[in-house]
Structure 1
Amino acid sequence: MKCKMCGNDVHDGDKFCKHCGQSVSNDTTGKYHRCENCGALMDPEDVYCLNCGERRDLVQKKNTISSYRKTEEQPVPSHKSAPENKGTGKYIALGVFGIAALILLFVGWNYYSYHSKLDQADRLFNGGEYALAQDAYQQLADKDAKPEVLRKLKESKAYSQAQSNYDNALNSIQKGQYQQALELLAAIPEEAKEIKTLANEEIGKMETAVLEFAKSSIEDMDYSSAEKVLTAYAAQDPNNEEIKKAKEDLSAAKNKSQTAASGKENTNQALSSSQTDQSRKTAEQKAAASQARGVQDAAYSQAYLNGLIGLNTTVTSAKANLRSAPDINASVITYVSRGAEVYIYDIVPDGTERIWCRAVVTSIVTGNTYDAWISSRNLDYSL
């Protein structure tokens, strides 16, 4: 068996351990116990250990205090707090990552949205939708005034205004308002290259129409209109020989008119008082018939809708020729001066912006009344 003191082998029959001298006992009843200080066996009634001399209850008390202190002073193992710190760090990392992702998403979306709108504005511009392109560029410039966008905004404004001028000029040409058309085309800036090219082509096409307008205006003694349209065209094409010649004809006609102004009206075709009254009544009846015709006849409809037939008006040009028929080559009965009273009861469009008006005309100078044809260009109401 083993010595309960030192743990060495003890032969059977030995009462003491040869190694430590400890008494050997085979008692297994448990009446002995070991000293908690040195481990030697003690009798239950022993107060002090025979081996180390330590008091038994004091040893137990010391062990209890020591055990308490060890428990109290024992540091918290670092591995216990690790899981909590590790979880918190994970959440923080996830939060930072989420915020960064949102920022990147926001920036990316703004970039995509901005350039998508820029591409759309470019497509509008390239498609000739200059006004819409201008609005689109303006919205982008308000959001982020980049140099590229500001440049395109300026260009779109020039093209938008140029397109508006060009469209209005074409409309004026259709109405025979050549002076206004020329002014609109001339105002188109050089920056709008494509539209400026179209404008110059249109000015070239207008030469014949302008010359015809000037000629007919001169014949109608409407020298102001002739002079304005010729001057406007000459500003765009100063070396045009046809325009120069038309201006010379205008000057000659004005000089001739000034010479004739010193003379008197030709009263041979003037109506008597009774003829004047009868002519006025007849004119009113014819005006009513012309208005009814205007409802059915397309040639009269525009004049009818604008109230030209049955209109009381006055001569606004310096002089106005009264003709025997609705034709520029018809004989001139006489002329009347500005302010002559005119009552229109019939009309004949001649295919231009001019309309021949059959009217009862009373001279403001002599008081004479005539029943004749007069050009609408000489009146303050003109189609």
Structure 2
Amino acid sequence: MSQESHEEPVRGLADGIRLVARTLVYIVLGGLALITILTVGSVLGPMLALDLYTPPVAAWWTVFTAVVVQAVPFLMLGTLVSAAIGAFVPERVFTRLLPRNPALAVPVAGAAGVVLPGCECASVPVADSLMRRGVAPAAALAFLLSAPAINPVVLVATSIAFPGQPAMVAARLLASLATAVVMGWLWVRFGREEWLPQRRRTASKAPSDGGRWGGFRAGLQHDFLHAGGFLVVGAAAAATFNIVVPRSVLDVFTGSAWLSVLLLAVLAVVLCVCSEADAFVAASLSGFSPTARLAFMVVGPMVDLKLFALQAGTFGRAFAVRFSAMTWVVAVVSSVLVGWWLL
């Protein structure tokens, strides 16, 4: 092999790292710009006054920063995997690994979610890439839901957050896997191609310029910048909820078993806690029943504001609305049934 062919992978990886670093710099600069705007606004007079150091604004900025900083590394992991799948993995690999029957491919893909130690931000671009490589949408969606919920990192974190309670770990595994598989089967039965953008139904082709490493760089640039913008939107929505809804409102629901389940299922959507950390948040909600806390951990990695924004940006708003709403219902039902059985 020529020296140029040896240098191409190194150059492609270096370009990808520079792209990610440049994007992170843009995020930091955007935060500094926001601070500048708020500071200037606080000086312009009573009509525009907004003091950055008031508790609500400080709380908003803290939650927003925490969500973004927590999610960006896993988003980067997901886009790297997505770009690598699109550029280097032939379609025949997936056709050999997964059964041809979509109904049989769904549980296989759901169980395969255990191999990706990432959060929901990483699963969206990976599922997108799987669809573009010819994987049935039902199987790719089952993987999207299961990967952030049943991987070893999440299960170990759950066991640490709930020491001496192996039933909680088993309940999370079973309820999450059941939700992913049921949603995949529902797509097989009721899903429509028009709910996905046209480009999702066409297998991607290798770029004519730059070879496979050129395709890797192009895919990484598109996926990371595209998904990163929607991540910021979802993080802003979660931070806004945290400062708008009084904590006293949450205490009203702790007395009812059913209302507590629904409340924590909704809270999981708006808090946008990463799947590697949500078990510790759930463990801190000691006033709620074990089933309600299970629902929080099952719903969160599958349906939250930032994930909805990522899905809408990747697959389209029509898909995101239908898929997220149905996933929330199935996840709550699975949590209640598994919680009643094991907890």
Q: TM over 0.5: same fold?
A: no
Q: Of Structure 1 and Structure 2, which has the larger fraction of its residues in helix?
A: 2
Task: Give the TM interval when normalised to the shorter protein.
Answer: under 0.3
TM-score by length of 2: 0.19
Structure with the bigger RCO (C-alpha within 8 Å, sep 6+) is 2
Q: Which structure has the larger Rg over C-alpha atoms?
A: 1
Q: Of Structure 1 and Structure 2, which has the larger fraction of its residues in strand?
A: 1
